[in-house]
Amino acid sequence: MRRTPKLPVSRLLLAAVMVLGVVPGGTAVAALDAETPQVVRFHGGGYDRADSIAVDPAGNVYVGGSVDSAGGGSTFAVVKLSPQGTVLWTGRYSGSRGGVGGSALAVTADGAGNVYAAGWTGDGVIFNNNIDYLVVKLGPDGVERWAQRYDGPARGFDQATEVAVDGTGSAYVSGFSYGQNQNQAFDWTTHKYSSTGALLWERRHSGPGTNDDRVADLMLAPDGNLVVTGFTKNSGDGLTNDLETLSYDPAGNLVWQTRWTDTAGSHESPADLDLDAAGRITVTGTTAENAGPYAVPTPITLRYDRSGNLLQTIRAGGASVDADTSGGFVLAGFFLEPPGVSSVARYDATGARVWSTPLTVNAEDALSGLSVGADSTGAVTLAGTARNVFVHNDDYLTVRYAPDGRELWRHRFNGPAGGDDRVAGLAVDGADTAVVTGTSWNGYLSSKGTADDIVTLRFPAAAAPALVAPSNLAATGVSAGQIRLTWQDNAGTEDGFRIERCQGIGCTGFVQVATVGHDVTAYTDGGLARNTQYSYRVRAFDADEVSPYSNTATGKTRRR
């Protein structure tokens, strides 16, 4: 999961903030249920973008990204939200060297409320390949404590992508930086800074090839060592990657290093890592048989012990991993059984799969940017972007699962302007509130021609509803006038199911067309027009309530 994850940083008043669920002045209104999130919209006056998220032990939320710059364009920034959703402060970065542009690609917080953000900043002209990586520490009040820029040996493109902080307040930052080899390719870079911002050590790492090597994630282990994962090129032609993971001790000494490749010509790309309380490491990503344009990536997840010894290889996941409180972990991504189906799965501490739940979406939707997080009760929240491939419209998609893998509810956020809304990350706080942030089209253009805001959704923890939504709804045309529906019953105590229909793909005018009884999980809808598409959804009911809706499924009647 995405954890969260300079110089003068000023506190400033928001040009516009809209909070749904909080009245002006920050006074909380009635508590929201788990399916109705609090929506916090931040508008800084121009182009605003979320790239990272973190929460602290007090429940404050930190969103890293970029916001409108007074000098034009956008710049590196962090926005802090209270546990009630009030915007407390915003820090923008403008360096003494005239830095313009930039973004906080990673953010984290320590137990005292200090904030550490890492990313990049420009140097006058944003896109002249002279980009520096940047790390900044802010106090709980949003006032800058220190900031450091790094310009690598090639004086080219340098970008920090990950940050972590230890118990002493020292910050570890990793990213990639132009090297001085013959191709001026990217190397891994890792830096450690003291609590006061002094550089303690720098490490550059390059694979056996001479092309780009990039960091994917980092995390501090329980023993205080740093674990970093990414890919490195394994040949001079730059066509194949290996998945590499290494560990440094607090003094910067290399403790161990391991490289994994599926086949001699395969192309590996890690996406995420997490560690459990025992120090076991789980890395998830993809592998492909070749690096060409027609290569088909398949999921791969690797588990290592604290010394870097490979424990297990799992052909699942690929997008996001989160260690749970029981020593197990949760994976999100694409699974090979059945092939190509998005799923969420839980594994125990031995690496055995406990459950796997397919993530069914509308036929016209494509999923991307999936992040997953497990809370203290064992419930799992998944967030990502759902894109309608026909109208090219993106929405936030958030789904919560019970500890046993049943889907409890799902929420789709399409901003008031009806434009693109893209998820940047997910975090789960100590009260089991799931927080999702991203970038949302606001429906109007500023004087600078931009129209994106940072939008954060807060889903409070809640008990599982008495009636759980049906799942895995499928619709299949069986004749010129009939479509057969099947679904999974997750409620168990329902009186029956209500079936709703509308005509077409992506239609919204659903009407109820049938009711079936307890434990019935199939229905054939008749009297339909031939060669026509219909969309369906199903919900359970009893004498007191109805469940959330199932996924929407679309089927087409036959021509004859």
Query: 3-state DSSP call for residue 130?
Result: coil
Q: What is the pLDDT of residue 300?
A: 94
Does 43 map to a domain? no
Q: Show the tokens assigned to 497.
A: 């199911």
Does 361 map to a domain? no
What is the pTM (predicted TM-score) of this model?
A: 0.79
Residue given tokens 């059945």 in the structure block: 338
With CA atoms as reference, report the closest residue to 234 among 222, 246, 243, 224: 243
Q: What is the pLDDT of residue 14?
A: 26
Q: What is the pLDDT of residue 26?
A: 26
Does 392 map to a domain? no
Separation between Cα atoms, residue 430 and residue 362, nearest integer Å: 33
Does 511 map to a domain? yes
Q: What is the pLDDT of residue 274?
A: 97
Structural domain of 482: 471-556
Residue pair 248/225 in contact by the 8 Å Cβ criterion:
yes
158-165 vs 144-150, strand pairing mode:
unpaired
Residues 6+ apart with CB under 8 A from 394: 385, 386, 387, 388, 420, 421, 422
With CA atoms as reference, report the closest residue to 322 among 279, 380, 367: 380
Separation between Cα atoms, residue 283 and residue 269, nearest integer Å: 10
Task: Please list the residues that pair with 242 across neighbouring strands.
Answer: 232
Q: What is the pLDDT of residue 446?
A: 55
Contacts of residues 515-519 at CB distance under 8 Å and 24 or more positions apart, as own/partner, are 518/494, 519/489
Does 501 map to a domain? yes
Per-residue pLDDT of the chain (560 residues; tens, 9 = 90+): 344 432 222 222 222 333 332 222 222 222 334 568 999 999 887 788 999 999 998 999 999 999 876 556 678 899 999 999 999 999 877 664 445 678 999 999 998 899 999 998 876 555 556 788 899 999 999 888 999 998 877 666 788 999 999 999 999 999 887 666 555 677 889 999 999 999 999 998 776 666 677 788 999 999 999 999 987 776 655 567 889 999 999 999 999 999 999 888 888 889 999 999 999 999 999 998 776 666 788 999 999 999 999 999 999 999 999 999 889 999 999 866 555 568 899 999 999 999 988 887 877 788 889 999 999 989 999 999 988 877 778 999 999 998 888 888 889 998 887 788 999 999 999 999 999 999 998 766 655 555 789 999 999 886 555 688 898 899 999 999 999 999 999 877 899 999 999 999 988 899 999 999 999 999 999 999 999 999 999 999 998 888 889 999 999 999 98
61-68 vs 74-81, strand pairing mode:
antiparallel
> Which amino acid, one-letter code, is at 191?
H
Residue given tokens 């990793």 in the structure block: 174
Residue pair 86/19 in contact by the 8 Å Cβ criterion:
yes
Question: Could you say which DSSP state residue 278 is in?
Answer: T
What CATH number did the domain enclosing 509 receive?
A: 2.60.40.10
Does 516 map to a domain? yes
CA 458 to centroid of chain Cα atoms: 15
How crowded is the C-beta side of 280, counted as CA atoms within 13 Å? Answer: 22
Does 394 map to a domain? no
Separation between Cα atoms, residue 178 and residue 244, nearest integer Å: 19
Separation between Cα atoms, residue 140 and residue 144, nearest integer Å: 10
User: Structurally, how many domains does the chain consist of?
Assistant: 1
Does 486 map to a domain? yes
Q: Show the tokens assigned to 120.
A: 């990049």
Conformation bin of residue 389: beta by default, left when phi > 0, alpha when psi is -120 to 50 = alpha
With CA atoms as reference, report the closest residue to 455 among 142, 29, 21, 159: 21
